[in-house]
Amino acid sequence: TTNHRIALIPGDGIGAEVVPTAQQVLDVLGRRHGFSLSYTSYDWSCERYLQEGAMMPADGIDQLRDKDAILLGAVGYPGVPDHVSLWGLLIPIRRSFRQYVNLRPIRVFEGIDSPVRGARPGAVDMVVVRENAEGEYSEIGGRLNQGTSEELAVQESVFTRAGVTRIADYAFSLAARRRGKLTSATKSNGIIHTMPFWDELIAERAAEHPGVTWDQEHIDALAAKFVLAPARFDVVVASNLFGDILSDLAAAVAGSIGIAPAANLNPERDFPSMFEPVHGSAPDIAGQGIANPLGAIWSAAMMLDHLGHPAAARDITDAIASVLAKTDTRTPDLGGTATTAEFTDKLIELL
């Protein structure tokens, strides 16, 4: 049987609660579909930072290099500034391993009572393709005149021809394999250097993908349309920050940000890709055992798909659909009273 080497980074808060549930689900599928997963667990977290002064060891990235995939919970916790924890662990992994595609699918499942009126189960099925390596997330900038009345902060965005072209090509190809529709998130009316460049490059790549119908929307109007007409969207391509915001919004439309998965992909496969729920460490509910594990479990399905087990991945998404359609077991974020463990047991029963 094929063995896959998986790096587990449970991380902080509910990250450490949901990663083990994904692992439980993965192990059932390995037995059924004839593959095995060997795990190496890393305690890299804010707790480690507070004890040892670093989120991960100096050779942390090298320790992950030979793995087939990385499964991560969440990073960041009160007590450590977010820019320190995230730029000390999550962002370096995404960048070192050239995971420039962040795929964030969302569906409104049968049995979900969406807070959005028009979001009927089955009708909403979209993917946010988030640029994951450049854009608004840059280290260029700084702070000046601290503590004076002349104080200021500057943060530069960086968009490269190569970076926008590759994310556009990925998104157009994905749209071609789906319903053939792509929307580009822009803000070229207000952000007058980078966003017109983004628009030009998207249009340039569109010409190479004639089978895909595409349009562009300003991010503000697009946010409104996610709520007013979410069924309209198939693939949405967005810069790093816009994609970050749109993916939480899309998850909320689907009922809870606890559902949404993410795949940080290195499409060339010269480095491991990383799979993680879209949500964070949720300090407000951490330690109570009530986190929704679906985001982590769906992320594990995306990992299996990436590792070449699409049938096993489908088993997981089918079980997610079943547990929501056929039972009323739900964690509190979806209006239920089940714990993370109870909900996971129910899902595994249906697997």
Q: Of the candidates 10, 258, 261, 272, which one interacts with ligand NAD according to CB under 6 A?
A: 258
The option from ligand NAD, Mn ion, ligand IPM, none interacting with 257 (CB < 5 to 8 A, set by class) reads ligand NAD
Q: In the bound complex, what is the minimum distance in angstroms from residue 299's beta carbon to ligand NAD?
A: 10
In one letter, which amino acid is 138? S
Residue 278 interacts with ligand IPM (CB under 6 A): yes or no:
yes
Residue closer to ligand IPM (CB basis): 68 or 244: 244
Residue number of the CB closest to ligand IPM reads 86
Instruction: Closer to ligand NAD by CB, 261 or 295: give it.
Output: 295
Distances in whole angstroms, Cα of residue 126 to Cα of each of 78, 148, 180, 262, 317: 33, 47, 12, 13, 15
Nearer to ligand NAD, 29 or 90 (CB): 90
In the chain, count H helices and then E strands.
12, 12
Residue 284 in the binding site for ligand NAD (CB under 6 A): yes
Q: How many CB atoms lie within 10 A of CB 186?
A: 24
- What is the C-alpha separation between 160 and 162, in angstroms, rounded? 5
Closest to ligand NAD by CB, 35 vs 77, is 77
Query: How many residues sit close enough to ligand IPM to count as binding (CB under 6 A)?
Result: 5
Smallest CA-to-CA distance from 239 within 344, 131, 122 is with 131
In whole angstroms, give the CA distance from residue 94 to residue 96.
6
Does 286 interact with ligand IPM (rule: CB under 6 A)?
no
**Of the candidate residues 131, 244, 315, 333, the single one contacting ligand IPM (CB under 6 A):** 244
From the CB of 163, what's the least distance to ligand IPM, in Å? Answer: 16
Distance of alpha carbon 324 from alpha carbon 347, whole angstroms: 9
Give the nearest distance from C-beta 13 to ligand NAD in angstroms.
Answer: 7
From CA 232, how far away is CA 45, in angstroms rounded? Answer: 39
Contact call for residues 324 and 316 (beta carbons, < 8 A): no
DSSP string, 35-50: EEEEEEE---SHHHHH
Answer for which of 28, 86, 176, 341 binds ligand IPM (CB under 6 A) is: 86
How far apart are CB 185 and ligand NAD at their closest, in Å? 19
Ramachandran bin of 158, using left for φ above 0, alpha for ψ from -120 to 50, beta for the remaining angles: beta
C-alpha closest to that of 340 among 277, 285, 270, 292: 292
Quick check: 171 binds ligand NAD (CB under 6 A)?
no
Answer yes or no: are the C-beta atoms of 33 and 39 closer than 8 Å: no
Indicate the DSSP class of residue 217. E
Binding mask 74-103 for ligand NAD (x = CB under 6 A): xxxx----x---x---x-------------
Angle at 64 between CA 137 and CA 317, to 5 degrees: 75
Q: Which of residues 179-218 bind ligand IPM (CB under 6 A)?
A: none
Within 206-265, which residues bind Mn ion (CB under 5 A)? 244
Measured from the CB atom, the residue of 86 and 158 that comes closer to ligand IPM is 86
> Rule CB under 6 A: is residue 330 a binding residue for ligand NAD?
no
Query: What's the chain's Rg over C-alpha atoms?
Result: 20
C-alpha distances in Å from residue 216, one per residue of 104, 121, 195, 211? 19, 26, 11, 17
Nearer to Mn ion (CB atom), residue 244 or residue 333: 244
**To the nearest whole angstrom, how small is the minimum distance from the Cβ of residue 126 to Mn ion?**
17
User: By C-beta, is 134 or 244 nearer to ligand IPM?
Assistant: 244
Does residue 204 interact with ligand NAD by CB under 6 A?
A: no
- Using CB under 6 A as the binding rule, whether residue 22 contacts ligand IPM is answered as no
Helices (H), the chain: 15-33, 46-52, 60-64, 82-87, 90-96, 161-177, 194-206, 219-228, 240-253, 294-306, 310-326, 340-349
List interacting residues with Mn ion (CB under 5 A).
244
List interacting residues with ligand IPM (CB under 6 A).
76, 86, 244, 278, 280
List interacting residues with ligand NAD (CB under 6 A).
14, 74-77, 82, 86, 90, 257-258, 276, 279-285, 291-292, 295, 333
